[in-house]
Protein backbone atom coordinates (compact mmCIF):
# COMPACT_ATOMS: atom_id res chain seq x y z
CA UNK A 1 0.00 0.00 0.00
CA UNK A 2 1.04 3.59 -0.53
CA UNK A 3 1.32 5.16 2.91
CA UNK A 4 3.36 8.14 1.70
CA UNK A 5 2.48 11.20 3.78
CA UNK A 6 0.40 9.06 6.12
CA UNK A 7 1.68 11.17 9.01
CA UNK A 8 -0.10 14.22 7.53
CA UNK A 9 -3.24 12.17 7.08
CA UNK A 10 -3.09 11.02 10.69
CA UNK A 11 -2.71 14.55 12.01
CA UNK A 12 -6.17 15.61 10.80
CA UNK A 13 -8.01 13.86 13.62
CA UNK A 14 -10.68 16.48 14.22
CA UNK A 15 -11.64 16.72 10.54
CA UNK A 16 -11.71 12.95 10.14
CA UNK A 17 -13.86 12.46 13.22
CA UNK A 18 -16.56 14.69 11.75
CA UNK A 19 -16.66 12.80 8.44
CA UNK A 20 -18.24 9.56 9.78
CA UNK A 21 -21.07 11.47 11.45
CA UNK A 22 -21.83 13.40 8.26
CA UNK A 23 -21.60 10.22 6.18
CA UNK A 24 -24.03 8.30 8.40
CA UNK A 25 -26.47 11.21 8.26
CA UNK A 26 -26.20 11.41 4.46
CA UNK A 27 -26.56 7.67 3.81
CA UNK A 28 -29.03 6.93 6.62
CA UNK A 29 -28.59 3.12 6.51
CA UNK A 30 -31.69 1.35 7.87
CA UNK A 31 -31.54 -0.83 10.95
CA UNK A 32 -30.66 -4.44 10.11
CA UNK A 33 -28.56 -3.33 7.10
CA UNK A 34 -25.46 -5.26 6.11
CA UNK A 35 -22.60 -2.81 5.54
CA UNK A 36 -18.99 -3.36 4.44
CA UNK A 37 -16.43 -0.60 5.07
CA UNK A 38 -13.14 -0.78 3.15
CA UNK A 39 -10.00 1.25 3.76
CA UNK A 40 -6.56 1.46 5.31
CA UNK A 41 -8.22 2.43 8.60
CA UNK A 42 -11.93 1.60 8.26
CA UNK A 43 -12.87 1.32 11.95
CA UNK A 44 -13.66 5.00 12.46
CA UNK A 45 -16.44 4.73 9.84
CA UNK A 46 -17.48 1.17 10.63
CA UNK A 47 -18.07 1.88 14.32
CA UNK A 48 -20.28 4.90 13.55
CA UNK A 49 -22.31 2.90 11.04
CA UNK A 50 -22.61 0.01 13.50
CA UNK A 51 -24.30 2.31 16.00
CA UNK A 52 -26.86 3.29 13.33
CA UNK A 53 -27.74 -0.20 12.05
CA UNK A 54 -28.09 -1.55 15.57
CA UNK A 55 -27.89 -5.11 16.91
CA UNK A 56 -29.92 -6.55 14.02
CA UNK A 57 -27.44 -5.21 11.47
CA UNK A 58 -24.02 -6.48 10.43
CA UNK A 59 -20.93 -4.37 9.73
CA UNK A 60 -17.72 -5.65 8.15
CA UNK A 61 -14.65 -3.50 8.86
CA UNK A 62 -12.15 -4.55 6.19
CA UNK A 63 -8.64 -3.18 6.52
CA UNK A 64 -7.08 -3.47 3.06
CA UNK A 65 -3.41 -4.26 2.66
CA UNK A 66 -0.95 -5.68 0.14
CA UNK A 67 0.87 -7.53 2.91
CA UNK A 68 0.36 -11.23 3.49
CA UNK A 69 -2.70 -11.72 5.69
CA UNK A 70 -2.04 -14.32 8.37
CA UNK A 71 -4.83 -13.85 10.88
CA UNK A 72 -8.44 -12.83 11.26
CA UNK A 73 -9.23 -10.12 13.78
CA UNK A 74 -11.22 -10.87 16.90
CA UNK A 75 -14.88 -9.89 16.62
CA UNK A 76 -15.22 -7.07 19.19
CA UNK A 77 -19.03 -7.06 19.47
CA UNK A 78 -21.89 -9.06 17.95
CA UNK A 79 -22.75 -7.81 14.47
CA UNK A 80 -19.33 -6.23 13.92
CA UNK A 81 -16.74 -8.25 11.99
CA UNK A 82 -13.22 -6.85 11.86
CA UNK A 83 -10.67 -8.34 9.49
CA UNK A 84 -7.48 -7.66 7.58
CA UNK A 85 -7.74 -8.46 3.88
CA UNK A 86 -5.14 -8.69 1.12
CA UNK A 87 -6.68 -6.41 -1.45
CA UNK A 88 -5.77 -8.50 -4.50
CA UNK A 89 -7.68 -11.52 -3.13
CA UNK A 90 -11.36 -12.41 -3.24
CA UNK A 91 -13.25 -10.77 -0.39
CA UNK A 92 -14.40 -13.19 2.33
CA UNK A 93 -17.98 -11.98 1.88
CA UNK A 94 -20.87 -13.85 0.21
CA UNK A 95 -22.11 -12.74 -3.21
CA UNK A 96 -24.94 -10.21 -3.14
CA UNK A 97 -25.08 -10.07 0.66
CA UNK A 98 -24.24 -6.39 1.33
CA UNK A 99 -26.69 -3.47 1.26
CA UNK A 100 -24.11 -0.69 1.48
CA UNK A 101 -20.36 -0.60 0.82
CA UNK A 102 -18.19 2.32 1.93
CA UNK A 103 -14.74 3.12 0.59
CA UNK A 104 -13.16 5.26 3.31
CA UNK A 105 -10.18 7.19 1.88
CA UNK A 106 -9.23 4.06 -0.05
CA UNK A 107 -8.53 5.25 -3.61
CA UNK A 108 -5.09 6.73 -3.08
CA UNK A 109 -3.83 3.76 -1.08
CA UNK A 110 -5.18 0.92 -3.22
CA UNK A 111 -2.85 -0.93 -5.54
CA UNK A 112 -5.69 -2.85 -7.22
CA UNK A 113 -8.52 -0.38 -7.76
CA UNK A 114 -10.20 -2.25 -10.63
CA UNK A 115 -10.24 -5.62 -8.87
CA UNK A 116 -11.50 -4.10 -5.62
CA UNK A 117 -14.32 -2.34 -7.47
CA UNK A 118 -15.22 -5.64 -9.11
CA UNK A 119 -15.21 -7.39 -5.73
CA UNK A 120 -17.29 -4.61 -4.20
CA UNK A 121 -19.83 -4.97 -6.98
CA UNK A 122 -19.90 -8.75 -6.46
CA UNK A 123 -20.75 -8.55 -2.76
CA UNK A 124 -23.37 -5.81 -3.16
CA UNK A 125 -26.97 -6.80 -3.68
CA UNK A 126 -28.50 -5.51 -6.93
CA UNK A 127 -29.61 -1.99 -6.05
CA UNK A 128 -27.02 -1.80 -3.25
CA UNK A 129 -25.03 1.39 -2.85
CA UNK A 130 -21.30 2.12 -2.94
CA UNK A 131 -20.33 5.30 -1.07
CA UNK A 132 -16.84 6.70 -1.62
CA UNK A 133 -15.50 9.22 0.90
CA UNK A 134 -12.23 10.88 -0.04
CA UNK A 135 -10.20 14.08 -0.06
CA UNK A 136 -11.24 16.96 -2.31
CA UNK A 137 -8.46 17.51 -4.85
CA UNK A 138 -7.10 20.80 -3.55
CA UNK A 139 -4.07 22.17 -1.74
CA UNK A 140 -4.53 22.59 2.00
CA UNK A 141 -2.46 22.40 5.15
CA UNK A 142 -3.94 19.08 6.27
CA UNK A 143 -4.18 15.72 4.59
CA UNK A 144 -2.34 14.41 1.53
CA UNK A 145 -0.88 16.66 -1.16
CA UNK A 146 -3.19 17.71 -3.98
CA UNK A 147 -1.34 15.52 -6.49
CA UNK A 148 -1.85 12.48 -4.25
CA UNK A 149 -5.63 12.99 -4.13
CA UNK A 150 -8.21 11.48 -6.46
CA UNK A 151 -10.81 13.95 -7.67
CA UNK A 152 -14.53 13.34 -7.37
CA UNK A 153 -14.76 13.42 -11.18
CA UNK A 154 -12.14 10.68 -11.52
CA UNK A 155 -13.87 8.68 -8.80
CA UNK A 156 -17.14 8.88 -10.77
CA UNK A 157 -15.39 7.73 -13.95
CA UNK A 158 -13.89 4.73 -12.16
CA UNK A 159 -17.25 3.72 -10.71
CA UNK A 160 -18.94 4.06 -14.10
CA UNK A 161 -16.20 1.97 -15.76
CA UNK A 162 -16.80 -0.74 -13.13
CA UNK A 163 -20.51 -0.90 -13.97
CA UNK A 164 -21.98 1.23 -11.17
CA UNK A 165 -24.79 3.64 -11.85
CA UNK A 166 -24.05 7.08 -10.42
CA UNK A 167 -26.47 8.36 -7.79
CA UNK A 168 -24.84 11.63 -6.82
CA UNK A 169 -21.94 13.63 -5.49
CA UNK A 170 -21.81 16.07 -2.59
CA UNK A 171 -19.40 17.80 -0.23
CA UNK A 172 -19.21 16.40 3.31
CA UNK A 173 -17.06 19.26 4.64
CA UNK A 174 -14.35 21.63 3.39
CA UNK A 175 -11.91 18.75 2.80
CA UNK A 176 -13.96 15.67 1.93
CA UNK A 177 -16.39 14.66 -0.81
CA UNK A 178 -18.90 11.85 -1.09
CA UNK A 179 -19.66 10.02 -4.35
CA UNK A 180 -22.49 7.47 -4.35
CA UNK A 181 -22.87 4.72 -6.92
CA UNK A 182 -25.34 1.87 -7.16
CA UNK A 183 -25.16 -1.67 -8.46
CA UNK A 184 -27.95 -1.77 -11.07
CA UNK A 185 -31.13 -3.70 -10.34
CA UNK A 186 -31.30 -6.84 -12.44
CA UNK A 187 -27.49 -6.95 -12.60
CA UNK A 188 -26.82 -10.69 -12.75
CA UNK A 189 -23.15 -10.61 -13.68
CA UNK A 190 -20.03 -8.74 -12.82
CA UNK A 191 -19.37 -7.33 -16.26
CA UNK A 192 -16.09 -6.11 -17.66
CA UNK A 193 -13.72 -4.16 -15.49
CA UNK A 194 -10.47 -2.86 -17.01
CA UNK A 195 -7.39 -4.78 -15.88
CA UNK A 196 -5.74 -1.52 -14.87
CA UNK A 197 -7.24 1.80 -13.90
CA UNK A 198 -5.30 5.02 -13.45
CA UNK A 199 -6.61 7.28 -10.69
CA UNK A 200 -3.86 9.87 -10.66
CA UNK A 201 -5.46 12.51 -12.86
CA UNK A 202 -8.22 14.96 -12.16
DSSP letters, 48-84, are HHHHHH-TTSEEEEEEEESSPP--PPP--BTTEEEEE
Query: Per-residue pLDDT tens for 83-120?
Result: 887 777 788 889 999 999 999 998 888 878 888 899 99
pLDDT interval class at 133 (50, 70, 90): very high
| Distance separating the N- and C-terminal Cα atoms of the chain | 21
Angstrom distance (rounded) from CA 26 to CA 131: 10
> What is the structure's pLDDT at 78?
61
How many alpha carbons lie under 13 Å from residue 12 in its C-beta half-sphere? 18
Show Cβ contacts of residue 20 under 8 Å, excluding neighbours closer than 6 positions: 44, 45, 47, 48, 49
Q: Does domain 6-182 have CATH number 3.40.50.620?
A: no
Q: What is the Cα Rg of the chain in Å?
A: 16
Average pLDDT over residues 134-162: 93
* Residue 110 contacts residue 90 (beta carbons within 8 Å): no
Q: Facing residues of 57 across strands? A: none
Question: Residue 37, CB half-sphere, CA atoms under 13 Å: how many?
Answer: 26
d(CA 159, CA 12): 27
Residue 198 predicted with pLDDT over 60:
no
Mean pLDDT of the chain: 81
Pinpoint the alpha helices (H) of the chain. 6-10, 13-27, 43-53, 113-123, 152-161
pLDDT band for position 16 (cuts 50, 70, 90): low
Q: What is the pLDDT of residue 92?
A: 85
- Check: pTM over 0.95? Answer yes or no: no
Strands 98-104 and 58-65: unpaired
Q: What is the pLDDT of residues 55-78, one digit of tens each?
A: 889 999 988 877 655 555 555 556
Task: Judge contact between 21 and 48, C-beta under 8 A.
Answer: yes
Residue 185 predicted with pLDDT over 80: yes
The helix (H) or strand (E) run that includes residue 165 is strand 165-171
Instruction: For the chain, give every domain's residue range.
Output: 6-182
Amino acid sequence: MNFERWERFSSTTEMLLSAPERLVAELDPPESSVVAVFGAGPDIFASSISERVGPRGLVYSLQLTDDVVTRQMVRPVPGYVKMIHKESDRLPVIDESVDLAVWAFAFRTLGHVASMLEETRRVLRPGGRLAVVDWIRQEESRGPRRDDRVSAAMCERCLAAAGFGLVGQRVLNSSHYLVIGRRPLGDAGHGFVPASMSVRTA
